[in-house]
Structure 1
């Protein structure tokens, strides 16, 4: 179930889907008690156009991006894409035989893409690598990212999604006894 959940969550944060498909994905996670029913209701209240627009703003960088989904923006003093933390994460992936190629020049440390990589590790019975990904590469900045998304997302669906995912990831980390490395977070405030 954890692999399935990580894949769906990764998809919601990385792959733009139409409203009908997004509703089915979210409904499946409500059934598994990962997301709240209110999160599904918030999604169903959006128009197709609003969902598409807000996804582009939040995850693809259309216009002014209120909450960047890349780790290096939070972990590097210069708050740049492809920063040192992304380089470290790329090396971690390469050490475990993964080279991501989405066909676009983009940082590997995108929140949803990292959830998908974690699911991949679990599918390959690389539990230690999945735990390391969560504890050393995703969650040192992921909690801050989800908190910012909850506060600044342009609609209640993404606000609720951020809150639900934060709660689920924190429960997973506690359940699996994963130690999250403390790293300095750089935010423009």
Structure 2
């Protein structure tokens, strides 16, 4: 009886599960498995969910949120949080429309200025937290409120102009709705971004330091 009890404690399901959950690779695999399960459930319950047109639309709608999530990973992995990413992302979208469609700036210049805006907002958050010793939650919450309020104001002010302007640019239209080998362009950008981020976090010294 005692030998059976010892064998049970040594090989019990609770012990096995506990050791399994301690594995480092379990942390990413659990949400990945849940995502696959939800996807399969939708595929079974929703008619024509797995058609090419449906999958392309899913990828196109998912890509932008995926880019935000990849960027947010840097804050989370370093032990912080950034509540302002949604507001900054929305303002970046408006700036792209305003600079390119209303001011008529060249597309490369527009992209560069929008990226610089996002970098500046990140530098403000990071500078206040790292050097001002402010709390990440409160700091990014305040930035969220300010940027979101500014976004609401400017979108109301320029709604008519933005609604009535035609881009007239095949490159602009391709970036928004184009496909490469059936894959939406923004999804390809997300894939490249994710691969580059993985390489940075696992092979480049500053990224490995963040992961550590």
- TM above 0.5, yes or no, is no
Q: Greater helix share, 1 or 2? A: 2
More relative contact order, 1 or 2 (CA 8 Å, 6+ apart):
1
Larger-Rg structure: 2
TM-score w.r.t. the length of structure 1 is 0.22
TM-score w.r.t. the length of structure 2 is 0.21
